[in-house]
Amino acid sequence: MEQSNFKRALYDEMHGRYAAMLEDNEPYSFSQGFELKMDKLINRRRKPYFSMINTLGKRAACIALAVFLASSAAVMSVDALRNAFFGFIIHIFHDSSIVQTIDDDEHPDTILERYDITWDMSGYVTDMDITEDTRINRIYRKGDSLVYFDQYTKAAFDLLINTEDADIQHITLNGYDTIYYLDNKGYHTFIWDNGRYIFMLSANTDEQTAMEMVESVRKKD
């Protein structure tokens, strides 16, 4: 018998036997405990943070991060952090950093004035402009050149940023103490506090152009 004919005959024979076996068995009901466990698993997968904790390694990393942040806050005083980081708290990890602000009562709770780049943006188009009570996020594009410009209230500013292989520097631009770094994607990023709001500008232009954009940021009439 040829191999193909043998396979077909074997399938026909086994298919008939399996069909008879299934017909003789009543539908199986899972226990209530099993059903509850499955419901918990399904609900857990629906959580927005599931992708961050769906393995043992990720859960361990999240726990380690929480412990690190708690211990950092405990061992360093606010005054020391303010002096070292211009009013920002920076937790630096291998490929990213968390940047937060030090709380005070000198900043508005909502955005009352809108700031923008007054540098000559000829040729740039606005890809995104989202305005909320506590933040404004904008993206300007010209060909392959992209500029991200964000304005936050102090309470709303709490960012995870890409600082892998980056050298975080502290400079002065436009009269403001500024955090600066060049990330591994070629974006020059600046973060500063003007006394009322927190600003972040990130651009894949040359460094001088990015600095001129930062220095041109003004309140809109």
pLDDT in tens, 157-189: 887 878 788 888 889 988 898 999 999 899 999
CB 193 within 8 A of CB 176: yes
The band of 54, judged by pLDDT with boundaries at 50, 70 and 90, is: low
Lowest mean pLDDT among 76-85, 143-152, 192-201: 76-85
| Count of C-beta atoms within a 10 Å radius of residue 157 | 22
The band of 144, judged by pLDDT with boundaries at 50, 70 and 90, is: very high
CB 125 within 8 A of CB 173: no
Domain 76-219 architecture:
2-Layer Sandwich (3.30)
Per domain, the residue ranges of the chain are: 3-44, 76-219
CA distance 91 to 78: 14
User: Nearest 5°: CA angle at 197, between 203 and 80?
Assistant: 95
Write the DSSP string, 47-67: STTHHHHSSHHHHHHHHHHHH
CA distance 16 to 25: 15
Q: Could you tell me which of 97, 104, 73 has the C-alpha nearest to residue 191?
A: 97
- Which residues fall within 8 angstroms of residue 218, CB to CB, at 6 or more apart? 115, 116, 118
What is the model's pLDDT at position 74? Answer: 40
pTM to 2 decimal places: 0.60
Q: Could you tell me which of 185, 187, 190 has the C-alpha nearest to residue 217?
A: 190
- Does residue 175 come out as left (phi exceeding 0), alpha (psi in the -120 to 50 range) or beta? left
Question: Which run of H or E residues covers position 208?
Answer: helix 207-215
The band of 210, judged by pLDDT with boundaries at 50, 70 and 90, is: very high
210 is written with which tokens?
């990015």
Chain mean pLDDT for the chain: 75
* Digit-coded pLDDT (tens) for 71-89: 444 434 333 333 345 667 7
* Digit-coded pLDDT (tens) for 33-44: 566 556 555 554
pLDDT at 139 over 60: yes
**Rounded mean pLDDT of 90-107?**
74
User: Nearest 5°: CA angle at 34, between 32 and 36?
Assistant: 70
